[in-house]
Amino acid sequence: MKYFTSKKLNEHLTLITTITAENLFLVEGSNKAILIDTSEGAGDLKGFVEKLTSKPIEVILTHGHIDHAMGAVAFEKVYMNPADKAVYEAMSDIPQRQEYIEMSVPKEKQAAVKQLALLNADGGAEKFLPLKDGQRFDLDGTTLEVYSLAGHTPGMMVVLLVEDRILIAGDAANTATFLFDDYCASVSDYQNNLQKLAKRLAGRYDKVYLSHHELEAPKDLLQRVSSVCQDVLDGKADNQRFDFMGKTAWIAKEVGPGFIRKDGGFGNIIYNKDNI
């Protein structure tokens, strides 16, 4: 069973996909490499990445959720927005992470994943370096800029690959943006953050990459998700019920398998009716 697979997207950007279907991104410059997100802490991610590059590896965590941050403790230099410290700590326990892994893989592979040892992520956030809005990482020829897009989590960040004109939106805005747990912003605050970032980054990217489901999203994703938020605020949402790890929420635009919208649109939110 392969926990990780990889695919070159361009000469210095590699997509790493996990068995639980997260998209991680490895960006290489001439002097070092940066890994964006680290999955659940199962499998030898560090060893896998070291086979892809011989350069020193640093890690950027887009946010503190189970499926993005728990493998970070295997690396020496990790950046995360301090606003997600509580999120990370709330999700670092092994039983919760094991439950997520088992529910995220095909049935025929569940027996195998139950045997995977998980890294002990407790206390990991204490060692992380602060990741700040507008922070730049110069890889000598390849530049990354990191921007805040609070909503999915308080410390949610997106990454702009400047020369490539690629925005890695991750979970900040996607086909099913989770906006329903205790750490999420209200729909109205999230929409405001989307609109501000869209203006701030206008004209600076041509592609948008996601962490789940589809790899690539339309260039105007931020505006599309903002429009979905407006429908919720206007009482025009479809409100399809969604149950996930003990919580009930509502999908704004009705979807079929794979969170594909039935109306043919792209971008969605899954929200809490008590936090609009």
Q: What are phi and psi of 15, to 5 degrees?
A: -85, 130
Higher-confidence residue: 171 or 116?
171
Using the Cα atoms of residue 73, residue 47, residue 40 and residue 156 in order, give the sign of their dihedral.
positive
pLDDT of 105: 85
Question: What is the tens place of the pLDDT at every residue in 108-136?
Answer: 777 777 777 899 999 999 999 999 999 99
| pLDDT tops 80 at residue 149 | yes
- Separation of alpha carbons 217 and 173, rounded Å: 10
DSSP letter at 170?
E
Grouping H, G, I as helix, E, B as strand and the rest as coil, residue 269 is strand
User: What domains are defined for the chain?
Assistant: 4-271 (3.60.15.10)
pLDDT of residue 224: 98
Half-sphere exposure of 187 (CA within 13 A, CB side): 26
pLDDT, mean of residues 13-23 = 95
Which candidate, 105, 132, 101, places its Cα nearest to that of 117? Answer: 101
What is the rounded average pLDDT for all residues in the chain?
95
How does pLDDT run across 217-237, given as a tens digit for each residue? 999 999 999 999 999 999 999
DSSP H/E element including 24: strand 23-28
Whether the pLDDT of residue 23 is over 80: the answer is yes
Q: State residue 102's pLDDT score.
A: 86
